[in-house]
């Protein structure tokens, strides 16, 4: 059976179409005449196929005009509206509904954050890992257990702080979040910071520090100085990620100095 395009092309050059054979037509087939092409010049916009093949640019002018009209009539894509993030219910709901990047298609569940909504200390990690993706809560694996012990060492319980990440979905194979993925989640993190209004922010790891500070300096250098969250007067302290400390135990001595400085900021 001829496709719509084939039928259109045949009509464009004046060829009558063959119709499907019906059961009653077996003994009364009628010839279908195909008129010969005139010797006059070809119709405008038509390339006559050469003998032995069809020209690569064979496209009737009528079809071109139709396609051009369809192209012109195609509406421009509408910009997705920014979700309302005026309260915690809006923020958490928007995070769970978010499909702004490919991370949302591969994670088990979203990980908005956990803890005291009026905490003095906001801890921002990089992204959920395997255990966090399963439980829907940040820092619950081995690195989370170490973070809890680090906080306890300066007299802070997990329930007294708010913990979240730069991105709210687990990156595949625990890779670093891409820049565009972090950017898509930025409005949620900013909304959380506005709601909490923390006294101090602790950036845990390179990805967190770079995204919060807009810097690309090594964590080892960022740790040596105190910072402020850009556009605010909120002090921001950088420290190593607990996962890094598990791989490099000697760095725990540096992290301990960071914790003591953090404790002083919170006094």
Digit-coded pLDDT (tens) for 147-182? 999 999 999 999 999 999 999 999 999 899 999 999
- 52, pLDDT greater than 70: no
Kindly state whether residue 27 falls inside one of the protein's structural domains: no
Cβ neighbours of residue 38 under 8 Å, at least 6 residues apart?
A: none
Q: Quick one: average pLDDT of 20-39?
A: 47
In which residue are the tokens 């790891």 written?
A: 205
pLDDT tens, position by position, 114-140: 999 999 999 999 999 999 999 999 999
Kindly state whether residue 183 falls inside one of the protein's structural domains: yes
The percentage of the chain sitting over the pLDDT mark of 70, rounded to a whole number, equals 69
Q: Residue 2 in contact with residue 35, Cβ under 8 Å?
A: no
Kindly state whether residue 51 falls inside one of the protein's structural domains: no
Q: Quick one: average pLDDT of 87-99?
A: 96
Strand pairing class (227-228; 121-125): unpaired
Kindly state whether residue 108 falls inside one of the protein's structural domains: yes
In which residue are the tokens 């910072």 written?
A: 227
Kindly state whether residue 94 falls inside one of the protein's structural domains: yes
Kindly state whether residue 30 falls inside one of the protein's structural domains: no
- What does the alpha-carbon distance between residue 196 and residue 48 come to, in Å, rounded to a whole number? 72
- 23 secondary structure, DSSP code: G
Q: How confident is the model at residue 249 (pLDDT cuts 50, 70, 90)?
A: very high
CATH assignment of the domain containing 256? 3.40.470.10
Cβ neighbours of residue 106 under 8 Å, at least 6 residues apart?
A: 169, 170, 172
Kindly state whether residue 66 falls inside one of the protein's structural domains: no
- What does the alpha-carbon distance between residue 210 and residue 227 come to, in Å, rounded to a whole number? 12
- What does the alpha-carbon distance between residue 192 and residue 259 come to, in Å, rounded to a whole number? 23
Kindly state whether residue 48 falls inside one of the protein's structural domains: no
Number of domains composing the chain: 1
Mean pLDDT score of the chain, rounded to an integer? 81
pLDDT confidence of residue 184: 94
- 50, pLDDT greater than 50: no
Tell me the residue range of the domain where 260 lies: 88-266
């Amino acid at each position: 059976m001829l496709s719509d395009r084939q039928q259109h092309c045949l009509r464009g050059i004046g060829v009558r179409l063959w119709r499907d054979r019906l059961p009653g037509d077996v003994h009364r087939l009628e010839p279908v005449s195909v008129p010969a092409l005139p010797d006059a010049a070809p119709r405008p916009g038509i390339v006559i196929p050469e003998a032995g093949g069809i020209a690569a640019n064979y496209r009737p002018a009528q079809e071109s005009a139709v396609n051009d009209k369809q192209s012109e009539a195609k509406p421009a894509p509408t910009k997705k509206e920014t979700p309302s993030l005026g309260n915690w219910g809006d923020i958490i709901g928007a995070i769970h509904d978010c499909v702004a990047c490919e991370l949302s298609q591969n994670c088990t569940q979203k990980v908005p954050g956990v803890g005291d909504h009026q905490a003095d200390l906001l801890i921002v990690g990089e992204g959920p890992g395997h255990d966090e993706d399963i439980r829907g809560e940040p820092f619950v694996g081995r690195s989370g257990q170490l973070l809890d012990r680090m906080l306890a060492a300066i007299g802070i319980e997990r329930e007294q702080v708010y913990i979240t990440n730069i991105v709210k979905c687990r990156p595949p194979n625990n890779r670093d979040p891409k820049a565009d993925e972090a950017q898509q989640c930025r409005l949620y993190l900013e909304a959380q910071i506005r709601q909490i209004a923390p006294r101090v922010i602790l950036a845990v790891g390179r990805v967190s520090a770079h995204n919060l500070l807009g810097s690309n300096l090594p964590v080892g250098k960022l740790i040596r100085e105190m910072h402020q969250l850009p556009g605010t007067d909120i002090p921001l302290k950088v420290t190593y990620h607990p996962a890094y400390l598990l791989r490099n135990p000697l760095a725990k001595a540096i992290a301990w100095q960071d914790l003591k400085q953090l404790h002083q900021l919170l006094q």
